[in-house]
Amino acid sequence: MTLQEQIRSNRLRSTIVIFGFALLLGVVGGLIGVIFNLSLGIVALVGAGLYAIFAILSSRRMVAGMTRAQEIGPDDLKPLRRVVENVSIAAGLPVTPDVRIVDDPAPNAFAAGLRPQTSYLGVTTGLLRTMPKRELEAVLGHEVSHVRNRDTYLMTMATIFAGVIALIADIGFRMLIFGGGGRGRRGGGALIAILAVVGLILAPYAAMLLRMSLSRRREFLADAGSAEILNDPEAMALALRRLQEDTTTIKYADAAVAHLWVESPTSRVESERGGVNFLSGLFDTHPPLDRRIAALEEAGGFRLPAELPADEPFATELGLT
Amino acid sequence: MLWLWILIGVVVLLLVVLVYGYNRLVRLRQEVNTGWANIDVQLQRRTDLIPNLVETVRGYAAHERETFDEVTRARTALQQAGTPAAAAVADAGLTAALGRLFAVAEAYPELKASKNFLELQEELTDTEDKISAARRYYNATVMALNTAIQSFPWLLVAGPFGFKAREFFSAEGDTAPPEVSFAA
């Protein structure tokens, strides 16, 4: 599969996902209609649709807000911009994404934006202070792959839809508890109402599962993309190992954008570091780092050394202290 | 009657393969062109930096004529290179000539301390990095096109419509870049 074909299959998948979410949204609206009354279901659906459109339009700013990523001036951190430029050229992106900085000691990075032209990469100061140039390039290659594969588009859509479904299911559920609703108004509808309530409770989880499963496969693809762009699978594996050894987590980890980061920013340490708890694994946004490293080792035909190279972190070159 | 239907079916199938294959090859060729444009931009930027560099060095080390001429010749060769492979060879030649120029510059402390010289040196290093980045992408697109053209059934489409295999941007002849494949 060439890159372009991969991108096209991703676009197709995006369309399917969006329809899937729309369907799920329809089900939730229908359930509200069944439990309460039809017009309330319609109102909920229209409201949800408007909210989704608003969220899509403002997603760029919302992500920046949720990740606390700061824009940098045109002359700041030139060496970092250069690295991003080189990686983007090697990936064949039409434009170089902007770089934004997250002031956080945890090493991590993310990509955001609906189109490559409006995309930007977020990099934590911790990443710059931890990674030497070679590994930083690999991490940026991973993020650039997300942009190139249109993962950022798909994941932004998935996040918004999952959020909308969770929101109206939650509202419906609260109305059920506090408002009493129209239960039992129709004779013999009790069973249907119970089923509908169960459906209402389960819908957000279905949406979340859908989002997570999409996200995890994409991480492997982006790791592979980085290895291919830089022709250096070992660098990506080294970077992942370094992330694994680091135990700090992002201070303002917002679960809604968890899937955007190169490493899961939340503190679910056990599963992230190679645990096999099936249930907790189900809701992970990222596959365990061990599995990602193993996939790279297998594809590249190498074994990581036990000791990480003690190279100067890139922050020294940038003059960050 | 049955034979007629089978015949129609086969013709329709062939048409579908033809249209799909043609579009796919056009797309791949377009990617190669984009990839080449990316390299060309950087090569252009590199040749644009050379006269400035030569002038700067000449200001401090006027009698190193031979080295200047060599760099200028290498630059002209790069400008005149007609094919990707020739451009790659000329580019390697320019890198070698520049290496000698920078080696000569080592002997002139004043030159080495000059801000202008340092900036040019940094720009050139950056351009070299970008050329190698653009080369990785270009060679990958060439590989995809060449593989498609040589494999069944696309080769049936490639021949009649004049799709040709393209050259790699590589100084060592047509060496394919090592492929990294993943089964994740």
DSSP string, A160-191: HHHHHHHHHHHHHHHIIIII-TTTTSSTT-HH
Among A46-50, A264-268, B57-61, B165-169, the range scoring the smallest mean pLDDT is A264-268
Average pLDDT for A98-105:
90
Smallest CA–CA distance from A218 into chain B, residue: B184
Query: How large is the average pLDDT for residues B19-33?
Result: 90
Smallest CA-to-CA distance from B120 within B41, B65, B59, B38 is with B59
Give the pLDDT score at A51. 83
DSSP-derived letter for residue A319 is: T
Q: Is B35 on the interface with A (CB under 8 A)?
A: yes
Higher pLDDT, A3 or B132: B132
Selection from B94, B88, B55 nearest residue B73 by Cα: B94
Residue B133 to residue A86, Cβ atoms within 8 A:
yes
Q: Flag the least confident range among A13-27, A277-291, B150-164.
A: A277-291
Q: Which of A103-112, A181-190, A293-302, B148-157 has the highest mean pLDDT?
A: A103-112
Across chain B, mean pLDDT equals: 86
Confidence of residue A5 (pLDDT cuts 50, 70, 90): low
Residue A252 has a pLDDT of 63
Q: Give the whole-angstrom CA distance, residue A132 versus residue A135.
A: 6
Residue B10 has pLDDT above 90, yes or no: yes
Residues of chain A contacting residue B144, judged by C-beta atoms under 8 Å apart = 2-3
In angstroms, rounded to a whole number, what is the distance separating the alpha carbons of residues A89 and B6?
49
ipTM > 0.85 (yes/no): no
The more confident residue out of A220 and B49 is B49
Q: CB count, 10 Å around CB of A299?
A: 20
Please pick, among A5, A71, A137, A143, the residue that the annotation labels catalytic: A143
- Residues of B in Cβ contact (< 8 Å) with A220: 182, 184
Higher pLDDT, A137 or B174: A137
Lowest mean pLDDT among A37-51, A199-213, B42-56, B71-85: A199-213
Q: Percentage of residues in chain A with pLDDT exceeding 90?
A: 12
Looking at the partner chain, which of B27, B137, B177 has a beta carbon nearest the beta carbon of A91?
B137
In the numeric block, the tokens 């909210």 are attached to A51
DSSP state, residue A257: G
Give chain A's length: 321
Q: Which amino acid appears at position B81 of this protein? A: A
Whether A5 is catalytic: no
pLDDT band at A273 (very low <50, low <70, confident <90, very high): very low
* Residues in chain A whose Cβ is within 8 Å of chain B: 2-4, 82, 85-87, 89-92, 217, 220-221, 223-224, 227-231, 233, 295, 298-300
Q: How far apart are CA A87 and CA A123, in angstroms?
A: 15
Task: Please indicate if any CB of chain A lies within 8 Å of the CB of B127.
Answer: no
pLDDT of residue A2: 52
A4, pLDDT greater than 70: no
d(C-alpha A80, C-alpha A226), whole Å: 17
Nearest CA in chain B to A88: B133
Query: Average pLDDT, stretch A33-62?
Result: 81
Look at A41-45, A115-119, A161-165, A259-263 and tell me which has the smallest mean pLDDT.
A259-263
pLDDT of B60 strictly over 70: yes
